[in-house]
Amino acid sequence: MSASIDDRSRELLEAENFAHVATITRDGTPHVAVAWIDVDGDVVQVNSAEGRDWPANLRRDPRVTIVVANHENPYEYVTIKGEAIEITPEGADQHIDSLAKKYLDKDEYPFRVEDEVRLKIRVRPDKVRRWGG
Amino acid sequence: MSASIDDRSRELLEAENFAHVATITRDGTPHVAVAWIDVDGDVVQVNSAEGRDWPANLRRDPRVTIVVANHENPYEYVTIKGEAIEITPEGADQHIDSLAKKYLDKDEYPFRVEDEVRLKIRVRPDKVRRWGG
């Protein structure tokens, strides 16, 4: 039941706005990560690293809610409910570099940690809802 | 296992920064609301209205995670894991007015809806963690 992303929501996702990514911890409590985000067609993409809590949460339960607020007007935001359909190291380094380009205007991600395995997380939106604005 | 709020986290909560409030929906998926927030001693307070999803979620499962990012520097944020210890209409109108003062510099909440029952939600932080900055 994949949902398409309306034009204004796509603008918010393509701008340098941060995502709040909510997942479910093993004990059933919600977890929220703050992350960079981008869009690939009708899939949204975030990036994390092996060993962190939230990719582990998504491997156990792929259901995720992502909120992206307009930094210029935080009363406007888009809420995406969906599922992580892919969590992969493949292409994850290139992906974090492209996010560094988007958010920091740097060709390479400057916070790389040695031996860290980055993960590209692709989320299929099932419900997209826009608020305010 | 109430946690105290360190000085810098308190500053972030007292500034006009928005909260992302994550709760658990009946079907086990995460829900995220964007909300105003303030602090009362070592309790954080948000405000919603009867009939909305997330106070209903909190009545069923009081476990909540709140993230407040520094609007001036979104790489700095505080994550609060805790429990809703009170969800009450008592004082909720005064509370939304005081939040309107904080965020909009208005003496009265300007978005009041007729017959809407506001709810003050008090959250006991059990774990406070600050990132970035």
Neighbours of B65 (CB within 10 A): 23
pLDDT of B44-62, one tens digit each?
Answer: 999 999 999 999 999 999 9
Alpha helices in chain A (DSSP H): 7-14, 53-60, 92-104
Cβ A63–B30 below 8 Å, yes or no? yes
The yes-or-no verdict on residue A116 having pLDDT over 80 is yes
How would residue B2 be classed by pLDDT, with cut points 50, 70 and 90? confident
Q: What pLDDT shows up at residue A133?
A: 75
Q: What pLDDT shows up at residue B115?
A: 94
The pair of three-digit structure tokens given for residue B29, joined into one six-digit string: 């998926």
- Asked whether residue A2 is domain-assigned, the answer is no
DSSP string, A37-75: -EEETTEEEEEEETT-HHHHHHHH--EEEEEEEETTEEE
Q: Which residues pair with A109 in a beta bridge?
A: none
Candidates A91, A98, A94, A89; CA nearest to A118 is: A89
- Asked whether residue B110 is domain-assigned, the answer is yes
CATH code of A24's domain: 2.30.110.10
- Asked whether residue A1 is domain-assigned, the answer is no
Cβ A34–B131 below 8 Å, yes or no? yes
Q: Residues 6 or more apart from B11 whose CB is under 8 A from it?
A: none
A24: enclosing H helix or E strand: strand A19-24
Q: What is the ipTM of this complex?
A: 0.95
Residue type, B99: L
pLDDT of B17-50, one tens digit each?
Answer: 999 999 999 999 999 999 999 999 999 999 999 9
Query: Taking the model in full, what pTM does it have?
Result: 0.97
In terms of residue numbers, what domain contains A101? Answer: 7-131
- Asked whether residue B27 is domain-assigned, the answer is yes
What is the spatial order of strands in the sheet that B118-131 belongs to?
B30-35, B19-24, B63-70, B73-88, B118-131, B43-49, B38-40
Q: Which residues pair with B61 in a beta bridge?
A: none
Which residues in chain A have Cβ-Cβ distances shorter than 8 Å to B63?
28-30
Residue of A nearest to B77 (CA): A34
pLDDT of A7-54, one tens digit each?
Answer: 999 999 999 999 999 999 999 999 999 999 999 999 999 999 999 999
Domain count for chain A: 1
- Asked whether residue A74 is domain-assigned, the answer is yes
Q: What pLDDT shows up at residue B58?
A: 98
Q: Please, what is the average pLDDT of chain A?
A: 97
Using CB atoms, which residue from A31, A74, A79 is nearest to B65? A31
Interface of B with A in 38-77 (CB under 8 A): 61, 63-67, 69, 71, 74, 77
What's the 3-state SS for chain B?
CCCCCCHHHHHHHHCCCCEEEEEECCCCCEEEEEECCEEECCEEEEEEECCCHHHHHHHHCCEEEEEEEECCEEEEEEEEEEEEEEEECCCHHHHHHHHHHHHHCCCCCCCCCCCCCEEEEEEEEEEEEEECC
The yes-or-no verdict on residue A60 having pLDDT over 90 is yes
As a whole number, mean pLDDT of residues A98-125 equals 96
Q: What pLDDT shows up at residue B133?
A: 75
Give me the residue label for tokens 């106070």.
B55
- Asked whether residue B2 is domain-assigned, the answer is no
- Asked whether residue B1 is domain-assigned, the answer is no
Apex B77 CA angle, A7 and A17, nearest 5:
15
Distance CA B64, CA B22 (A): 6
- Asked whether residue A53 is domain-assigned, the answer is yes
Which residues in chain B have Cβ-Cβ distances shorter than 8 Å to A31?
22, 65
